[in-house]
Chain A
């Protein structure tokens, strides 16, 4: 049976209201929604949403939200992206230096892109992450070299 668009819209409203309203930054939303996706199948899973609707509707709703979060992040300025990354690092309770090193080496943002994203747009976001990480690293380095008062 084909998934009805109205059901998907209701499911999108549901996930926005219950979950995404608690995640204010688009970077965090992108990472959260990408983690709902099975890397082997490309399908999204959310037990709560699937129990209220159907697995198919939940999957499409999560994919829609994922695309939305991605578009929001792409439209952010570099200043905003750096700010969101700083907040994200604080929320993970990781050492900023370790975080920047890991992200530069592993580039985890590459797997957070929704399917069928235009390659130029995806490349632009990867490039912005690369620059934002370089800005953060430069800040950390300058903070380290400043003499303690």
Chain B
């Protein structure tokens, strides 16, 4: 009798666990709502990375040459201080965007079976490299000023846009045509 109660308790416990696990992620892999949300999140994150032309403008040496030749010492130090602030803001923004993208991919990896493991591995390496580059650039700009490491700036901007491209490839199955079908009347969801 005690054994029966024991096994029945284990059975109830297992059912309860299954029930809670099923409730934790109610959306099945590839559900229309999840696909649309994933695509929107990716687009928002990619849009958050500033264009390379702007990055070049912030770190443009011609502005520094101009101030150095035309302005007194007070203005020169103001210029360096201001550009340093902008450079640090930019690096921080890239770091936050990449972190969001990484969190997004971690979430996606749990939900979609169609993700390519090779691309996901490449992305993980890109994210790790970028995180290190961001920290390094922050330290260099903080100590040496905004024009201390132009190559590192270019490399970081390139790597960030490359990571976005891989991310795009990795989530290629979330293409517009597929979402167009999903946005149809059968799903009952409107396109945003």
How many chain A residues touch B (Cβ–Cβ < 8 Å)? 17
Within 8 A of A (CB), among B75-96: 75, 78-79, 82-83, 85-86, 89-90, 93
Minimum distance in angstroms from B48 CB to a CB of chain A: 8
- A121→B50 contact, CB < 8 A: yes
Selected from A118, A131, A138, the residue in CB contact (under 8 A) with B72 is A138
Q: Main SS of the interface on chain A? A: helix
Minimum distance in angstroms from B94 CB to a CB of chain A: 10
- B66→A138 contact, CB < 8 A: no
- B85→A78 contact, CB < 8 A: no
Interface 1/0 per residue, A118-140 and B, CB below 8 Å: 10110110010011001100100
Residue of A nearest to B90 (CB): A120
* A134-B75, A135-B67, A135-B71 known; A127 vs B50 contact (CB < 8 Å): no
Binding site for A on B (CB under 8 A): 48, 50, 53-54, 57-58, 60, 62-63, 66-67, 70-72, 74-75, 78-79, 82-83, 85-86, 89-90, 93
A-B pairs, 8 with minimum CB distance: A78-B63, A127-B82, A134-B75, A79-B66, A120-B89, A124-B86, A135-B71, A131-B79
Binding site for B on A (CB under 8 A): 74-75, 77-79, 118, 120-121, 123-124, 127, 130-131, 134-135, 138, 142
